[in-house]
Chain A
Amino acid sequence: MSGLIQTGLSLFATEEGGEHAGHHGASYWGLMVYFGFTLLILFAFLSIAKSGFKDRVFKNKWSSRFEQVYLFIESMCVNIIGPHGRRYVPFIITFWLVIFVSNIVGLFFAFTPTADLGFNLGMALISIGYVQWEGMRSNGVLGHFKHFAGPKLGLAMIPITLMIFIIEIISEAIKNVSLSLRLFGNIEGGHKMVEGMNTLGTNIIGPLSLPFGFFLLPIKVLTVVVQALIFSLLTCVYISLVTHHEEEHHEDHGHSAAPMTA
């Protein structure tokens, strides 16, 4: 396990030099250890919160907090996707929790899973893959791909339809990149800024160094929340785009939304 964490700097550290200078990813095992650590923290809090579910009114403050998160995500799903959006709450909330806890870990530790592009791309692929799956489930495979071709145009406009189709397919693929790069850029960018600020404070008064990067804590805290929200929100929007026909169908036939499945 030597060299587990190749690099990565906390809010309180200075920039590393040497062989890996400028490279801020972790090795495969480094990422897995940090991911495991993140999940350990997450499940520790989930366990604490779960212990308070027996009460009729949650007296455990962590139960109340997680309930608020749950209700917030549920409300977001319903508002964006529609009444059938409740079905996607477990999916969205899992993303939100993992990204949020991972970002929090990044405030205090040298590395965080969300500062790894590979990790973020994995989440983005699941998100967009699920969106495609839901699109095909609600519109049928052909119907889903028909959406990419845009509105029905005459035979003479087939080249335009084809062009729209190709652009839409590229756009769908790019969603993976935008989702993952946005998160990576914000979290890794935050680390870089902290490193830069800390470098400014190195040996500022004789051998004493001041962690100027600490002053970025408020903006980093904001990033932690906003990035978790943006990823979840965009996933909701993408789901909404491919399932809005389903909502109309439900409204037309007065069907209730299908139950959520964990």
Chain B
Amino acid sequence: MSEIKKSSAAATWGMFFIGLVLMFAGMYVSTSVTHGNIKSLEEMGVPLDPGKTLSVIGVFLMLFKVIGNFFLVPLSDAITTRNSDLESTFTEAENLRNQMDTLKSDYEKRMAQTEADAREKIQSQIKEAQELRKTLMAEASSKADELVKRAQDEIAAERERAVSGIRMHVANLSLQAAEKVLGENLDDNRNRKLIDDFLDKVEVPAG
């Protein structure tokens, strides 16, 4: 839509002058001039008054300028202003949309990057955890082996202690029994030696 421009003052006044001249000329023709042809036309049912026609032409020449400047120029200005406002609003909206698209794509990129980072971190954590698990398992296994070994050693020591205790007890019992059988007090150290030798000979290996 193009804007209606206000016509120049000279053109407006020129039109007004011509219009007024025609108006008055028409008034004169209508009221003072009679022509046979006009009368015959009127008799034929065609009521034509050239004076009116002249005046109407004059009024219209003024009217074009008046309606144009009074109404059409402001209307056109209002429409143009509104259209340019709308256009700028649309442009602004379009820019915002583009900005939003850019932000959205940035956000999506960042999201994808974050997801990839997170995935990578998770994978590395899983790997680390697996390694840690292996290490812990190995540690636990070695500790368990150590504990078992220690327990076995303790068991062996206990067994040894128990066996020597039992041996001592058996020797005592044997001595007491022999003492009672022989009725005499034998030399204690020599007897013990004899018993130990005896026991070594008769001892059944531990199962």
B-binding residues in A (CB < 8 A): 23-25, 28, 31-32, 35, 39, 43, 46, 49-50, 53-54, 56-58, 66-67, 70-71, 74, 86, 89-91, 93-94, 97-98, 113, 116-119, 121-123, 125-126, 256-257, 259-262
Contact = CB atoms under 8 A, between A and B. Distances in A.
A50 B74 contact: yes
A118 B53 contact: yes
A116 B42 CA distance: 12
Interface stretch (B57-65, B93-101, B116-124, B168-176): B57-65
A262 B6 contact: yes
Given A23-B47, A90-B4, A90-B64, A119 B71 contact: no
A103 B72 CA distance: 21
B196 interface: no
Given A25-B49, A66-B75, A98-B63, A118 B82 contact: no
Nearest to B6: A262
A24 B4 CA distance: 39
B82 A74 contact: no
Given A56-B85, A70-B75, A90-B68, A35 B56 contact: yes
Interface of B: 1-7, 11, 26-27, 30-31, 42, 46-57, 59-61, 63-65, 67-79, 81-82, 85
A56 B78 CA distance: 8
A50 B52 contact: no
26 contacts: A35-B56, A46-B70, A49-B75, A50-B70, A50-B71, A54-B78, A91-B64, A93-B67, A116-B47, A116-B52, A117-B47, A117-B48, A118-B47, A118-B48, A118-B51, A118-B52, A121-B48, A121-B56, A122-B52, A125-B53, A125-B57, A126-B57, A259-B4, A260-B5, A262-B4, A262-B69
Nearest to B65: A262
Contact of B27 (A28, A70, A125): A28
A119 B53 contact: yes
B182 to A, nearest CB: 140
Nearest to A78: B1
For the complex, would chain A's binding face be called helix, strand, loop or mixed by DSSP majority?
helix
Contact residues of B: prevailing secondary structure: helix
B2 A259 contact: yes
Contacts, number: 131
Contacts of A71: 79
Contacts of B79: 67, 70-71
Given A86-B1, A118-B53, A260-B2, A53 B75 contact: yes
A54 B81 CA distance: 10
A122 B57 contact: yes
Contacts of B85: 56
Given A67-B79, A118-B49, A46 B67 contact: yes
A123 B56 contact: yes
Given A56-B85, A70-B72, A261 B7 contact: yes
Contact of B55 (A90, A122, A257): A122
B43 to A, nearest CB: 10
B65 to A, nearest CB: 7
Contacts of B26: 28
B82 A57 contact: yes
A35 B72 contact: no
Contact of A118 (B4, B31, B50, B75): B50
A257 B2 contact: yes
A122 B67 contact: no
B78 to A, nearest CB: 4
A50 B85 CA distance: 19
A71 B67 CA distance: 16
Nearest to A256: B2
B145 to A, nearest CB: 90
